[in-house]
Structure 1
Amino acid sequence: MGTNRKEEIILTTLELAAEKGLAGVSMSMIADKIGIKKPSLYKHFSSKDEIVEAMYQFLRDKSKENANIKPVDYSILFSEKTAYEVLKGVMQGYINMNHQEQMLTFYKVIYSERSIQPMAARIVAEETERMIIATKQLFYAMEVHKLLHFENADMSAVSFAMTVHGLMDYELDQKYGYDEAPKNLLDEYLKWFCEQNYVEAGD
């Protein structure tokens, strides 16, 4: 019951935040919408910020599960694939995870409020840091398996992660801002990146 109630609180808060923005949602409002008294809400979460933190983790875990994202075995991931195919597959997995309906709603709320809500800014920064760390690990492995070569794998990972992050945001902005199909700059960037960092014979 405790876990189900926590999930109900998280999803109700997400629904309210999508309508009113995070600043427009109070603990009383959440309790009213669920149909419980405010003290009962505080048994599960001590503050709205705590609910939002839990929401991020809950939705991320659920999205990873739905997108079938498991711990990476690089020898399987790299098997009989080009560097481009590896990067394309990894990016597709990340996109599948982050573009699920509830996760997308969450990001819309967080992105729109990051300039005024420290909690929202912290979550956006945390997600970017996760992406950079995962990219560094991927690039170290690609270097070892001679799929790509980097003069500086750490800075290449930062540059790649930030560019991909920006291009994904750009494609979403196009999708919601125009009727036309978004330009597939992400794919063009992946091809260019692989060309720039290809492994020369004898490396």
Structure 2
Amino acid sequence: MADDIQINKPRRRNTKEKIIDEAEALAALHGIEHLKLQDVADKIGIKLPSVYAHFSGREDILAAMGSRISKGITQLYVAKPGEAPIETLKRGAQEMLIFLGDRPAYFRLMLRDQSVPLGYDPLNHRAAVNQNFSLPSEINDMHNRVQSLIDRCCGAENKIGAADFTASVHGFMLIRLSWLPTRNDEEGNVYVEYHSMQSTVDTIINRLLNIN
């Protein structure tokens, strides 16, 4: 299980962190819509009112999960010293795949968000039809990093923008991961076997950027 992307899970977890962690584990196994707070409480060994002492309800817990996803996104596509732009793009995509594959609740939550018009907080900031809508800063910042890498890699000859690039690459991951069965490792962590997808991710990037 990879830990390249850090999402601030302390070694000594407090009750609030335990609630989020167990909600993630249950959502990974059973899906977002089947997540029940009583099941979370039972898993931790606390009473249901103790869950409500930390969160207003299920959506509040999902929002906390979304904050973890947002933090992960801020760490994607960040160049390392001496790394070529194409290497950064491919490494960033692979890190996203590992991040989601090791935490199935995250891609399940992201797929749920995308099924709702304009998404929902904190990933997409739900907005009324007549309100101005903009992507959250984490997504915009990631797109800026990706666009800079694409420009450095391909120059003016490349026609694809960062938003289309990430939609193509990450969209493939979200759909493909959702088709795969969840598994448990020796420590009981839930994950999806994503390794067979890694070479396909590189192939998609090569085709998007017209690299042979």
| TM-score using structure 1 length | 0.61
| Mapping 1:63-82, distance limit 5 Å | 69=75, 72=78, 74=79, 76-77=80-81, 79=82, 81=84
Measure how far apart 1:27 and its partner are. 3.4
Q: Percent identity?
A: 24
Contact 2:20 2:65 in 1 (8 A): yes
Measure how far apart 1:106 and its partner are. 3.7
Work out the CA distance in 1 between the residues paired with 2:197 and 2:83: 31
Measure how far apart 1:85 and its partner are. 2.1
Asked whether 1:13 is paired with 2:23, we answer: yes
- Paired residue type of 1:136: N
The unaligned stretches of length 5 or more in structure 2 are 1-11, 126-134, 182-195
The equivalent of 1:157 in structure 2 is 162
Measure how far apart 1:160 and its partner are. 0.6
Provide closer, same or farther for how the CA distance between residues 27 and 93 of structure 1 changes in structure 2, counting only shifts above 3 A.
closer
2:201 to 164, 186, 190: 186
Measure how far apart 1:195 and its partner are. 3.1
Contact 2:63 2:122 in 1 (8 A): no
Root-mean-square deviation (Å): 4.1
Looking at both structures, which has the greater relative contact order when contacts are Cα pairs under 8 Å and sequence separation is at least 6? 2
Greater share of helix: 1
Provide closer, same or farther for how the CA distance between residues 124 and 188 of structure 1 changes in structure 2, counting only shifts above 3 A.
farther
The equivalent of 2:120 in structure 1 is 122
Pair member with larger Rg: 1
Contact 2:28 2:105 in 1 (8 A): yes
Measured against aligned partners, the alpha-carbon deviations of 1:120-163 in whole angstroms (never above 9, x if no partner) come to x53696499645641323323553xx43324798x611111111
Measured against aligned partners, the alpha-carbon deviations of 1:44-97 in whole angstroms (never above 9, x if no partner) come to 111111111112324665x68xxxx5893x4x45x252x432321221222222
- Paired residue type of 2:120: R
- Paired residue type of 2:154: L
Work out the CA distance in 2 between the residues paired with 1:193 and 1:19: 33
Asked whether 1:107 is paired with 2:107, we answer: yes
| TM-score using structure 2 length | 0.59
